[in-house]
Amino acid sequence: MARSQCNKKKTRRLRSTTAISPESSFGLRISATNSQVPSIITTRSNSLVTHHTGTFALSTMTNNYENAEAQQATAAEMCQAAQGMLRQVLEQNEQLSKLAGAVCQTTEVVELANALVTAIQRAVHHHQHADGMAFAIANECVAELREQVRKAIRAAVEAAPEFVLEEADEKESLDLLEAILEDVFAEDALVLVQKTE
């Protein structure tokens, strides 16, 4: 009996020592953790990548000026204002007033909205960040408008051989049109940039 009790006491001491041994316990914890870490990291990593990608896509969509439909709507607003003002500007010039109707019927003026969409996309591509984006878009669209109207005037002149175009008359009308519409375009561009989806 005495020997049996002694053996039990030794067994208890051994078990107790094994259970509280920092080295063995720490070693077991490390082994168990290490065996589980790779799969956990892989799973979390994949979910984080997916989540990050989704977040990035959403943040991109909040930039209204990058949205194709928003660009087209803005270009249409600009086009309507430009077409409405063009005839009035041309009619104020004694010489170009004779071509006002023909200029407004040219492809360059009729399809001006398409050219303005391209101008907006060009500004977004080159500028690449929101700060100053409205200014960049407005400037690009005003420059595009000027170029398209210049082409329209030249096309109308070619169709009327008897008409002699004076560069001073052309420049005067283009300058006036630009001065009138630059604030309108700036407003439209600001709405495009500030609006979020």
Q: pLDDT tens across 33-83, in order?
A: 444 444 433 333 343 333 334 444 444 456 889 999 999 999 999 999 999
| pLDDT confidence of residue 131 | 84
- Do residues 130 and 45 share a domain? no
Question: Which pTM value belongs to this model?
Answer: 0.68
How much is the average pLDDT of 151-178? 96
Distance CA 100, CA 86 (A): 8
Is 81 in the same domain as 171? Answer: yes
Confidence of residue 197 (pLDDT cuts 50, 70, 90): low
Q: Alpha helix (H) ranges present in the chain?
A: 2-20, 22-61, 68-91, 100-104, 107-110, 112-127, 133-158, 167-194
Question: Phi and psi for 150 in degrees, rounded to 5?
Answer: -60, -45
Instruction: Identify whether the C-beta of residue 64 lies closer than 8 Å to the C-beta of residue 137.
Output: no
Last residue of a domain, one of 59, 78, 103: 59
> What is the residue range of 33's domain?
2-59
Residue 20 reports pLDDT greater than 90: no
**CA dist 99 → 87, 96, 144, 156, 174 (Å):** 9, 5, 21, 7, 14
The verdict on 161 and 69 lying in the same domain is yes
Whether residue 91 sits in one domain with residue 19: no
| Token pair of 175 as six digits | 């300058």
Both 76 and 45 in one domain: the answer is no
Residue 8 has pLDDT above 70, yes or no: no
Between 62 and 167, residue with greater pLDDT: 167
**Residue 197 to residues 56, 61, 62, 129: CA-CA distances in angstroms?**
15, 7, 5, 17
8 Å CB contact between 118 and 144: yes
Share of the chain above pLDDT 90, in %: 61
